[in-house]
Amino acid sequence: MKIKSKVLTLTILLLVLLSPVRAQTDEVKFGAAVAKITSVSAMRVRKAPQVTAEEVIRLKLGTVVTAVARSANEDTVAGQRDYWYRVNFSNQQTASGQAANDQTGWVFGGLLLDYDPDHRQQLLKQIVEDRLKAETTEFLDRQEIYNLASSSIAEAEDTDTRAEFELLKLLALRNWAGSVPNEQKTKSPYREWLTAHKAEIIENEFRGGYDLRTDMLWNLETKYHASPVADTIAWEAARNEQPSDCENDQVCGFFRFAGDIKYLNLQPQGEHAAEALNNLNEALTDEVIKTANDKSSDKYLLEQRAELQKTFRSLRLALQKVSAPEKAELVQKLGRVK
């Protein structure tokens, strides 16, 4: 009896231990295949619906796969709860550059989106925008974001959509530039990346790293000035960070908002006009006005005053086009400049 009891106990224990595994390997087959698209870079495809299962291959961001079944139970991965999906993929280029012909495997559903070919461009735009918001992506992840934005340009069916993807390509490049470590810039793959994009980026000698050249964005605004997307492009240009070491220099700080003045000149009724006016009103301090009115013959001050007068002329021209009520206080401040 004791032996039978031990055998029974061991059998029950074994069933309890194996039941989660079995539950995870059971699948619910679909009556018809369902198209999905990957929403992360280097997405892992596994042999079984478990994070511990052997990795089959990794798929690029924006890869379309065909789901033929799902796991019987949901799983929680990285805080997301969803099913695992058994997917087929063929003639796809993987994240490692290998060809993936007629393969199958399991991917976690929390990293997939439903795919509709009629809304492909909206989906690609959503994926790129979401990935640009992610804060923990690394150099190779950001490369995939850039590549997807870049390849989507050729698929654009109209001018406005093309403008959106060209903007996303530049924003992805800016995002990518932020992942280049200064101490490794002479090593591969960073060395090759810097050579390939040297005309589009600029080294930030004050805080380190690299920034997108602002003129890349202003040139894009010029190209698509007649498009509704131009307002967004111009605002991204105005907000694009450039090397600066103003510290507590208020005049230098005012010059940093030259992009807001250019934005107002190009998009006087734009969505961000009020914000640009508020920024300029805050930057145009009493100290800046005092410097503009200073009669000192100091060479440095003479250069500052000349640059201020030039900037004020551009600002006055912009304010003539703007109708937002926020301009009133700024006009009043400019009236104090002699």
Q: Is 25 within 8 Å of 63 (Cβ atoms)?
A: no
Q: Is 124 within 8 Å of 38 (Cβ atoms)?
A: no
**Residue boundaries of the structural domains of the chain:** 26-115, 118-334
Task: Tell me: pLDDT of 99 over 70.
Answer: no
Task: Tell me: pLDDT of 165 over 70.
Answer: yes
Task: Tell me: pLDDT of 17 over 60.
Answer: no
Nearest Cα neighbor of 203 from 185, 222, 215 is 185
Environment class of 179 (CB within 10 Å of its CB; exposed 0-12, middle 13-18, buried 19+):
middle
Task: Tell me: pLDDT of 3 over 60.
Answer: no
Nearest Cα neighbor of 177 from 87, 240, 263 is 240
Task: Tell me: pLDDT of 291 over 80.
Answer: yes
Q: What is the DSSP letter of 54?
A: P
Predicted local distance difference test score (pLDDT) of residue 92: 54
Q: Is 27 within 8 Å of 86 (Cβ atoms)?
A: yes
pLDDT band with cut points at 50, 70 and 90 for residue 205: confident
pLDDT band with cut points at 50, 70 and 90 for residue 297: confident
Amino acid at site 58: R
CA distance between the termini of the chain: 107
Per residue in 74-93, is it b (16+ CB within 10 Å) or e — as a string?
ebeeeeeebbbbbbebeebe
Give CA–CA dist 87/35, Å, rounded: 9
C-alpha dist (Å) from residue 100 to 81, 91, 96, 97, 145? 28, 6, 10, 9, 20
Q: What are the pLDDT digits (tens) for 47-97? A: 999 999 999 999 999 999 999 999 999 999 999 999 999 999 875 555 555
Q: What is the DSSP letter of 284?
A: S
Nearest Cα neighbor of 140 from 95, 203, 87 is 95
CATH number listed for the domain at residues 26-115:
2.30.30.40
Predicted local distance difference test score (pLDDT) of residue 288: 96
Q: Is 267 within 8 Å of 224 (Cβ atoms)?
A: no
Nearest Cα neighbor of 62 from 87, 41, 90, 84 is 41
Q: Which residue has the tokens 């450039």?
A: 242
Q: Which residue has the tokens 């551009």?
A: 314
Characterize the bridge pairing of strands 210-212 and 75-77.
Answer: unpaired
Q: Is 79 within 8 Å of 111 (Cβ atoms)?
A: no
Q: Which residue has the tokens 């530049």?
A: 170
Mean pLDDT taken over the chain: 90
Task: Tell me: pLDDT of 15 over 50.
Answer: no
Cα of 295 vs its chain's centroid, Å? 47
5-14, 159-168, 239-248, 261-270: range with lowest mean pLDDT:
5-14
Q: Which residue has the tokens 């006016």?
A: 277
Question: Where are any strands of DSSP class E within 39-184?
Answer: 43-46, 55-59, 64-71, 75-77, 80-82, 84-89, 92-93, 99-100, 103-108, 112-114
Q: Which residue has the tokens 């018809």?
A: 32
Predicted local distance difference test score (pLDDT) of residue 326: 95
Task: Tell me: pLDDT of 100 over 60.
Answer: no
Q: Is 56 within 8 Å of 136 (Cβ atoms)?
A: no
SS3 assignment, position 195:
helix
- Asked if the bond preceding 189 is cis, omega within 30° of 0, the reply is yes
Predicted local distance difference test score (pLDDT) of residue 280: 98
Give CA–CA dist 192/210, Å, rounded: 14
